[in-house]
Structure 1
């Protein structure tokens, strides 16, 4: 009961926090400023960063400024999702590690700001096959196959005898 209550309370808090985050991202704040989401938020020199914002509104356009890291300006255009404007820029190869502010001004007059972290050793997600030791064998081993077959046969014979003894009513004391 207590675990269920904790689970429900935790779920409610996460849902509330998620709703608050979405609410802050979907509307511009009092100063006509919105959030600017960067994907990935941590990049290496030479990486491409995608910028999303709802500050520009439905079918919104704007200009982004990534000059803090010498990437210059980039354009924002309506994205695939409702009310989201999207743009991209490339992190220059000679960019130093650190935090950089990215700024967007939309045609509707609203602005959005975000932060990009540049690291020279960005951790990548693992990919490829994992060698766990579980899987196929190198080749058939006749000794192991014979031993397995013998164990299965012994189990079948033992099971059959046990069932016959029970059916005949004979039981051990």
Structure 2
């Protein structure tokens, strides 16, 4: 019976950790400050996936109406940035640019508000591969010359011209086909 209880408890803890149910426990030590000091609120990151050189906009309601905050993008090498009230009075907004040297991967962005609250979000940095070679769009100009296709095209045009000429000549001479 004791083995079954341990197995079920271990399974329940594993499921809770997998689902993220255990994340609130890491902030339990801050409950003495009114419960808000340790709570990390959501930080919206737009775009959430981008290559280096892109300007990123973040916003949160954690700082409150008319609030201010300081963002931290050191994980990207971008340093600190300011958050100021946005067009919606309850939202603060800030921007930074992903440095060219930033490595691909998931990078955490954090904000500390003047009211003591915090917000965090993730940014995925991806490097775009530049296309190489010709692009076959069907319009020409970007595809290198293929002598087989050129020869086939010339043959089709020549056959059409000969056939058209013979047809026009036959009509002009008044010859008709009897069926």
**TM-score by structure 1 length?**
0.52
How do 1:153-172 and structure 2 match up within 5 A? none
- Matched with 1:119 is 126
- Count the aligned residue pairs: 95
Q: Following TM superposition, where does structure 1 have runs of at least 4 consecutive aligned residues deviating by more than 4 angstroms? A: none
Q: Distance in 2 between matches of 1:98 and 1:29?
A: 30
- Matched with 2:38 is 31
Q: Distance in 1 between matches of 2:40 and 2:106?
A: 20
SS of the equivalent of 1:68 reads helix
- Matched with 1:68 is 75
Q: Distance in 2 between matches of 1:51 and 1:110?
A: 16
- Matched with 1:80 is 87
- Matched with 1:53 is 60
- 1:30 CA displacement: 8.0
- 1:80 CA displacement: 0.3
How do 1:6-25 and structure 2 match up within 5 A? none
Consecutive unaligned residues of structure 2, counting only runs of 5 or more, are 1-34, 130-179
Would you say the 8 A contact 2:37–2:117 is kept in 1? no
Alpha-carbon RMSD:
1.8
Q: Distance in 2 between matches of 1:32 and 1:55?
A: 10
Higher alpha-carbon Rg: 2
Consecutive unaligned residues of structure 1, counting only runs of 5 or more, are 1-27, 123-173
How do 1:74-153 and structure 2 match up within 5 A? 74-121=81-128
Q: Distance in 2 between matches of 1:31 and 1:96?
A: 30
- 1:81 CA displacement: 1.0
- 1:82 CA displacement: 2.6
Cα deviation code 1:62-100 (max 9, x no counterpart): 000000010000000000013000000000001111000
Cα deviation code 1:17-37 (max 9, x no counterpart): xxxxxxxxxxx9783321000
